[in-house]
Amino acid sequence: MRKPILLVLAIAAGLACSKSSTPQRGTGTAPTDTPFTIVATDSGFTLPDTLHAGLNHLVYENHGREIHECMFIKLPDGMSAVDYVAQVKAGIAFPEGARDCAGPGLASPGERVEMWVPLEEGSYITGCWIANHMTQRRPAAFVVHGAARSPVSPPREDVTVRMLDFQFVLSGPIKRGEQTLRYETVGPSMHEADIVRLADGRTVDDVRKWFRDQERDPLPGTIASGCMDSHDLKSVSWVRRTFEPGRYVLWCDMPMIQSAEKADSNAARVTHADAGMFKEVTVD
């Protein structure tokens, strides 16, 4: 999450994707276990307007020329997508009552990943926190309804990524080819993971500079397959992609100090990565 101001730590404490919203019931066709597709472009997202409660299986593709992520944000009662964006424009990076609910992390143009993510009943928007996309690009609203049981089964993971304060712990090596990573938040803070594949000659320091400069410069490689943060620390998501051999860096860009107050966007940012929450891995 590359929010320009600071977040509330307290809301990370198990408030989860709250159950306070009144969901709108979709007319709803019978759910299937066929993944649906989310396409990110440089003008916004396209995705179904109705999803089912429980585990959802999706394919995320970036058809744009810029990097995009796709956070699922559950809105509280009475808050529209326009309301949410208006608050972000006013400098409130975390509108009261809204809940992060994971989603595909940053993806370079042309990247494609498959993801399994649990969602509770309610009204949602998608959002991208890179640069000014949250306020300048079209958010997509969708509804999760609980009328049908999710037919989706979790995939079998190749590697479990456990996210602790402040490190990534992998259950084993990531291998070349198609790999499914299971993301668990041990906490106590909420965390996210972005995965950069380093270009030849580039280093972790280049990745640090890229995040610190709010992604203004070209990325020192390509990025995809990460998992965005969720206020529900018990939420588990899976991401599948094809890994080419190379050097990769897992990175958590969550702010270290978190507050719901409106803050100076130029305030110093200290992130989990600054506390050591990054990990370089080699795929042979």
The Cα–Cα gap between 230 and 243 comes to: 25
Kindly state whether residue 277 participates in binding Cu ion, applying the rule CB under 5 A.
Answer: yes
Contacts (CB under 5 A) with Cu ion, residues 221-260: 252, 254
Kindly state whether residue 193 participates in binding Cu ion, applying the rule CB under 5 A.
Answer: no
* C-beta of 20 vs 259, nearer to Cu ion: 259
What does the DSSP 8-state code read for residue 94? S
Q: How far is the CB of 161 from Cu ion (least distance, A)?
A: 12
Kindly state whether residue 263 participates in binding Cu ion, applying the rule CB under 5 A.
Answer: no
* C-beta of 191 vs 279, nearer to Cu ion: 191
| Encoded tokens for 64 | 């744009």
Q: Applying CB under 5 A, which part among 26-34, 85-93, 183-191, 231-239 lies near Cu ion?
A: 183-191
Q: How far is the CB of 252 from Cu ion (least distance, A)?
A: 3
Q: How far is the CB of 164 from Cu ion (least distance, A)?
A: 8
* C-beta of 16 vs 254, nearer to Cu ion: 254
| Encoded tokens for 19 | 């159950």
Q: Judged by CB under 5 A, how many residues of this single chain contact Cu ion?
A: 5
Using a 10 angstrom Cβ sphere, with 0-12 exposed, 13-18 middle and 19 or more buried, the burial of residue 251 is buried
Q: How far is the CB of 236 from Cu ion (least distance, A)?
A: 16
Q: What is the largest CA-CA distance in the chain?
A: 53
| Encoded tokens for 206 | 């280049």
Q: How far is the CB of 229 from Cu ion (least distance, A)?
A: 8
Contact 250, 278 (CB under 8 A): yes
Kindly state whether residue 181 participates in binding Cu ion, applying the rule CB under 5 A.
Answer: no
CA dist list (Å): 50 to 27, 30, 55: 9, 12, 14
Kindly state whether residue 191 participates in binding Cu ion, applying the rule CB under 5 A.
Answer: yes
Kindly state whether residue 115 participates in binding Cu ion, applying the rule CB under 5 A.
Answer: no
Which spans in 94-214 are helix H?
133-136, 204-212
The Cα–Cα gap between 117 and 185 comes to: 13
Chain positions contacting Cu ion, by CB under 5 A: 191, 252, 254, 272, 277
